[in-house]
Amino acid sequence: MMGLFTSVGLSQCVRRTTNLGHPPGRLVGSWRRQMTNRYNRRRGPNRRVSQNKTPVYIKSIKNQIPNFQSDQVESLKYRYCLSDAAADTVAITFELPVFPWALATSALSLSAPQKAVRLRKIKLWTNYRSNVGISGNTQNVTYLERRGIRPFECSSTATYETPAFYSKTFGADDLLGWFYSTTAGESNPEITFQLTKGSILELTFDYVLDDADIVVTAAGSGLTSSRIYSNSINANLVCIGKSYQYPFVV
C-alpha cells in the first residue's frame, strides 16, 4: 500500500506541476531561464528608454546663452598693377601692416577705423611680353629678415607659354601673417615686390574694425573730406576697380 500510495502521489504531483506550466524533473532550470529571458524582453524597452534620457545638467548647458565675440574679422581682396606713368620694371617695398582703406576727415588727413590688420594671402602674376627681354618678364618677391623672419627671395620668369606666378598664404602663427596695428616706432616685417608692366598683384587682408573714440590716422594731401580712399600702397601702383585711392602709411 505504501508503494502504491507513493507512486500515485508522485504521479499527481507531476500532473499538478505540468498543469501549472512547470516541466517535471531536470527541465525546471531551463524553464526558469526561459521565463527570466521572457521577463527581461518585456522590460527591455522601458529600461533602455530610461537610460537614454538626457541628464538635466546637459539640458541646462544647451540652453545657456552662448559666448559672443564682438571683434569680428572682416576680409578684403585688392588687386594692383603698375600705373602708366611708372617705369617698365619697378620695385615696391612696404612695411606691415597695410591698412586697406581709410576715411578722409580733411584735405590733409585720413582716419583708418581698424584696430589691427594682417596680410593673409599674396598672389602675383606676370604676363609674357615679346617686346622686352628676360628682366622685363621676371617678377620677384623678397621678405626682409625682421622680427625673426627668415630671409626669402623668389623669382619667376614668364614665357610665351605660361605666365610667371607666385602664391603664398600666411597662417595666424606666421610672423608675416600676424595682426599689426601701426608701423610707427616699430620694425615690422617688410616685403618687396618687383613688378613689370605685365604684372598683377593681389593682396588679401583680414582686419578688425575699431569702435574707439580715437582711431589710427595718416597724413595726405589733396583729399576730399568724407570720402573713402583705398590704399594704393605706392605712387607707382593702381588699385584696380577703385574710384578713389591714395597711398598712405599708418
pLDDT tier, 17 (very low <50, low <70, confident <90, very high otherwise): very low
**98 C-beta neighbours (distance < 10 Å), count:** 21
- Is 24's pLDDT higher than 60? no
What type of residue is 184? A
Closest CA to 88 of 151, 22, 134: 134
Residue 224 domain flag: yes
Lowest mean pLDDT among 68-72, 153-157, 188-192: 68-72
pLDDT tier, 1 (very low <50, low <70, confident <90, very high otherwise): very low
Q: Which residue has the higher pLDDT, 183 or 224?
A: 224
Q: CATH no. for residue 175?
A: 2.60.120
Distance CA 192, CA 184 (A): 19
Residue 30 domain flag: no
In contact, 87 and 228? CB cutoff 8 Å: no
Q: What is the 3-state secondary structure (H, E, C) of 175-211?
A: HHHCCECCCCCCCCCEEEEEEECCEEEEEEEEEEECC
Q: How many domains does the chain have?
A: 1
Mean pLDDT within 27-49? 60
Closest CA to 93 of 202, 213, 236: 236
pTM over 0.95: no
Residue 153 domain flag: yes
**pLDDT tens-digit profile of 61-72?**
777 888 888 889
Lowest mean pLDDT among 30-44, 158-172, 230-244: 30-44
Q: What is the mean pLDDT of the chain?
A: 84
Residue 58 domain flag: no
What type of residue is 210? D
**pLDDT tens-digit profile of 72-82?**
999 999 999 99
Domain that residue 221 falls in = 73-246
**pLDDT tens-digit profile of 198-230?**
999 999 999 999 887 788 899 999 999 999 999
237: phi then psi, degrees, rounded to nearest 5:
-105, 150
Strand, coil or helix: 61: helix
Residue 56 domain flag: no
Closest CA to 178 of 208, 219, 201: 208
Residue 137 domain flag: yes
Q: Which residue has the higher pLDDT, 204 or 144?
A: 204
pLDDT tier, 10 (very low <50, low <70, confident <90, very high otherwise): very low
pLDDT tier, 5 (very low <50, low <70, confident <90, very high otherwise): very low
- The owner of cell 517535471 is 24
Closest CA to 211 of 109, 107, 75, 72: 72
pLDDT value at residue 158: 96
Q: Which residues pair with 77 in a beta bridge?
A: 204
Distance CA 32, CA 219 (A): 94
DSSP state for residue 55 in the 8-state scheme: P
Residue 115 domain flag: yes
* Alpha helix (H) residue ranges in 104-165: none
Residue 64 domain flag: no
